Structure 1
Amino acid sequence: MKTLKNIFLTILTIGMLQSCIVSEKPNIDFFQNSKYDFKGVQFASINVPMALAKSYIKKALREEGESEETVNLVKKASKIKVLTVTNGSQEMLNDYTQYLNDNHYEEWATIKHDGDNVNIRVKQDGDAIKNMLITVGSNSKDMVFVDVKGNFTPDDISKMINSVSVK
C-alpha cells in the first residue's frame, strides 16, 4: 500500500511540475488558433501551476515592495499563462488587439512604465471578471502576454491599476 501511495504521489508531482516546463509553442488563444503568419517570430510559453506558485509569487511581490492590492489579486487567480514573443511586430500587436475587441475584452488601462506600455484588458460578465489579459510591449520587437484567469471584481482590478499607476 505504501508503494502504491509513493507511486501516486510521484505521478502527481510529475504532472504538476510538467506544466512548469517552458514550451516554444504559444499558449494564448490568438497565437494558437490564428491563421496569422508568424514567420521569424519566436515564442516561449509557461503555464504557471497556481497550487505550487501562489505562495512564491506572493512572497516575491512583497519582497519587491508591491502593494497588498496586487498580492490580494494573486490570491484570487486560478490560472496564469505567460507568453513571451521575440521578433514580433506592431502589425501583429494590432491584430491581437482587434482579436480582443472581437472577443469582447474591454480595455481598462494602458500604463507607461519604464519605457514599456502595459495594457490591461478584461472580459467581464456583470460584476464578475473571469479573465484578465495583460500585454507588455516596448518599442522593441519583444512582448510579453499574460493571461490570468480567476474570480475578480472590478474593484480588485481598479485597486491594482491604481497601486501600479501611483509608483
Structure 2
Amino acid sequence: MKKIVFVLLAMILVACSSDDPVQQIDSIIGVWQPDSMEIVFADGRTTNESISPCESNNRFTFGIDGTFFRTSFPEGDDINCEELVGDPYQSGTWERISETRYLIRLICSIPNCDDIEEEYPEEIIFPDNNTMRVKIVELDDRAPNPIDYLYLFYKRVE
C-alpha cells in the first residue's frame, strides 16, 4: 500500500511540475565587448580585422527587462582613449523578433527630440555562451571592393 501511495504521489508531482512553462533567459542578456570583425566581399573573398585598442572599451548592455545601453569609444590605437560622451542615441530598448533577429530601438536623449533610431541586424547568433555574432548586410555597391556583408563578433564580459 505504501508503494502505491508513493507512486501516485510521485506521478502527481511530475505531472504538476511539467505543467509549468520553463522560462528561458535570452542569450543576448549581459554586457558585450567588441572582439573582431569578418568582412565578406561580393566576390566571395573574406578578411578578418581586429578591433582597435580604444574600440575594445566599447560595451553593449542588454538588460533582462528589455533595456539597452551602449558605452562608446573612438576608433584608434590609443589605449588611454576617452569615452565618447554626448551621443544622443546611447540607450533604448531591445526585443527578440525571431530565433536570430533582434530589434534595437535607440531613443534620442536630447530634449525635444522625438527621434527613435532602429537597428535591425540581419542575424544575431550565439556560437557559444560567451560569443555573439552579428551579421550586418552592406549594400554599398559603389566601393571598389563591394562588401556583401560583415560579421561583428562580441565576447561576453558580464
Shorter-chain TM-score bucket reads under 0.3
- For the pair shown, which has the larger CA radius of gyration, 1 or 2? 2
